[in-house]
Each structure stands twice: as C-alpha cells, then as structure tokens.
Amino acid sequence: MFSDADITAIILTLKLATTVTVLLLLIGTPIAYWLAHTRSPFKGLVSAIVALPLVLPPTVLGFYLLVAMGPAGFVGELTNRLGLGTLPFTFEGLVVASLFYSMPFVVQPIQNAIEAIGTRPLEVAATLRASALDRFFTVVLPMAKPGFITASVLGFAHTVGEFGVVLMIGGNIPGETRVISVQIYDHVEALEYAHAHKLAGALVMFSFLTLLGLYSIQRRHGAQAINLKSGL
C-alpha cells in the first residue's frame, strides 16, 4: 500500500511525535502546575509565551528557531561549543522545534485540569503532612488524569501533523527529517497524487480516530465526576 519512502516517513514521524510528547509532559507539567497556582505578575507573560504558537504562523516560528539554532545564533554557538554541532537539518533539531510548536497543546490542558482541582484537596493533604511531591502524585496526578490524557493525545497528534516548522528546521532529508507531511508535499510536487491520497487519507483517518477517542475519554471521565459528586 505504501512505498518504502512512505513507510520510512511514517516511522520517523511516530518516533518524533513519541519523543516530543514524552519530553513535553516532563517539561510542560511543572510549567502548567506553576501557572495554575502562581500569583506572580509574570503569569500573563509566561502564559502568552506558551500560547504564542497558537497564533504565530509556523513559518515565522520556524524561521526564528532556524536563526537561533544556526551557526551564528546563540543556541548554535552553544551547541558548537559543547561539541554537538548545529541542530538545523537534524532529527534533534526537529525535536526542539516541535517542543516549542506543540507546547500549548500540552501545557494548557494540564493547567486547566489542575486549576479545576482547586486548593482544598492539597490543603487537606498538607494537614496530613504530605510533602509537595506526595501531594502531586497522590492528589494532583490522579485528579487531573483527564487533563494529562488530553495533553498527551493532543501533543502527539499535533506533532504528527506539523509541516511548516519541520520544513523550515529539518528541510527534506530522507530518513532523517522527512516526516509524513513533507512526504505528502513531495508527492504533490511530483504529481504523484495517488501516493499523496494514501498518506493524506491515513492522516485524516488518524486525526478523526484520535479526536473520537479523546472525546469518548473526556465524556467517560465527565460521567465519573458527576457520579462522584452525586455520591457526595
């Protein structure tokens, strides 16, 4: 059904999306927790920075990341000094760019879920001498589970569908930076519409099933929350 080049692009895309999702959960959770509880005057600034990819054209974000990570950029100079070379046109560069581009799709659902918990459960846990780490794993994580699921699904799906940012940062290197969206673009440029239809149709089906599954999970958790409140 798919050519060898298509399969390579699919595998690379899944690898990228998985890596980015895991890293975003590790990086985004502390940010979301801080945004949910802080009263700092910098909350608005941090929230705006996190949400910027939602309104910024991908090519603009990709351009500035390309400049920053290039040989003359401050990130590029740092990675060169560390002996890592430059990040543009590498898989690692795609990961860094995708972290920025998919950040709001992970941080915001987790932040909303933590804010919905409120402070009362944490205060009760604190009176029982639970440490901050204990309160997170025994109170926040279980109660905000729907938010973490939503964040994981949206972060993964959004990374799979990237085009502008990955093209700016990664270019079009087979087996290294040519993801599904770029592969579809190549098929269209070559007038290989049959191949493009197969990959595009697979992405449409993937996106539909992802959203369908996400809404089903949210509906189930919503029903559980209603039942819990009724019992109380």
**Could you tell me the domains of the chain?**
4-231 (1.10.3720.10)
43, pLDDT greater than 90 = yes
Q: How far apart are alpha carbons 13 and 184 in whole angstroms?
A: 12
Instruction: Using pLDDT thresholds of 50, 70 and 90, give the confidence band for residue 171.
Output: confident
Span of 78-82, 166-170, 217-221 with lowest mean pLDDT = 217-221
Instruction: Using pLDDT thresholds of 50, 70 and 90, give the confidence band for residue 45.
Output: very high
Cβ burial, residue 165 (10 Å; 0-12/13-18/19+): buried
Average pLDDT of the chain, as a whole number: 88
Record the pTM. 0.87
Residue percentage of the chain with pLDDT more than 90: 53
Q: Phi first, then psi: what are they for 192, rounded to 5°?
A: -95, 70
Task: Kindly report the number of other CB atoms within 10 A of residue 54's CB atom.
Answer: 11
Q: How far apart are alpha carbons 54 and 21 in whole angstroms?
A: 17
Per-residue model confidence (pLDDT) at position 222 = 61
Give rounded-to-5 percent helix, strand, coil for the chain: 80, 0, 20
Instruction: Using pLDDT thresholds of 50, 70 and 90, give the confidence band for residue 46.
Output: very high
215, pLDDT greater than 70 = yes
Residues 6+ apart with CB under 8 A from 87: 69, 75, 76, 79, 93, 96, 169
